Amino acid sequence: MKVCVLYASASRESEKIKAIAKSLAEGVSSQGHQVDIIDMNLDMGKKVSFYDYLIFGTEANTFWGGKIPTTVSQFLRSAGEVSGIRCMGFVSKGGLRSMKTLQALMKTMEHEGLFLKKSEIVTKPDYARAIGKHLQI
């Protein structure tokens, strides 16, 4: 299957979400799937409607959490027809309210019609790799 891992960092200097996305992609590809990685901050307007499974990841905008970067919703609006595609959402652990941040991401994804199968708060790249290896796609 064709899988795409998309991530958006809250700031340009953040490497944590990028490392988690790459580790998650490694785990998924170990199952035999073809995996692409897209940085939503850099590839705005890229069409992702031809993928079988999408994995979206981001981090909180602020220390208090609860809000995701506006890049995520802007990317989804311009990503083509994604309604009905199965997906997963994850946020990197940071700030005080990681669950609230995850809920904001899930709400944005569901608003575009994505079929959310799994959501996760990911702390480290090793944990992301383990999630990818066991993800039911």
What is the Cα–Cα distance from 98 to 64, expressed in whole angstroms? Answer: 9
Domains and CATH numbers, the chain: 2-134 (3.40.50.360)
Is pLDDT at 96 greater than 80 in this prediction? no
Quickly state the pLDDT bin for 87 (edges 50, 70, 90): very high
What is the SS3 string spanning 66-93? CCCCHHHHHHHHCCCCCCCCEEEEEEEC
pLDDT confidence band for 89 (50 / 70 / 90): very high
Q: What is the pTM of this model?
A: 0.92
Confidence of residue 63 (pLDDT cuts 50, 70, 90): confident
Q: Which two tokens stand for residue 27?
A: 């785990």
Long-range contacts of 110-115 (CB under 8 A, 24+ apart): 111/73, 112/76, 112/77, 112/79, 112/82, 112/83, 113/82, 113/83, 113/84, 114/54, 114/76, 114/82, 114/83, 114/84, 114/85, 114/86, 114/87, 115/84, 115/85, 115/86, 115/87
Cα separation, 27 vs 62, in Å, equals 29
85 or 9: which carries more pLDDT confidence? 85
The stretch 61-82 carries a mean pLDDT of 86
Q: Is the pLDDT of residue 13 over 70?
A: no
How do residues 119-128 score in pLDDT, each as one tens digit? Answer: 999 989 999 9
At residue 12, does pLDDT exceed 70?
Answer: no
Answer yes or no: is pLDDT of 95 > 90: no
pLDDT, tens digit, for every residue of 126-136?
999 999 999 99
* CA contacts within 13 A on the Cβ side of 115: 9
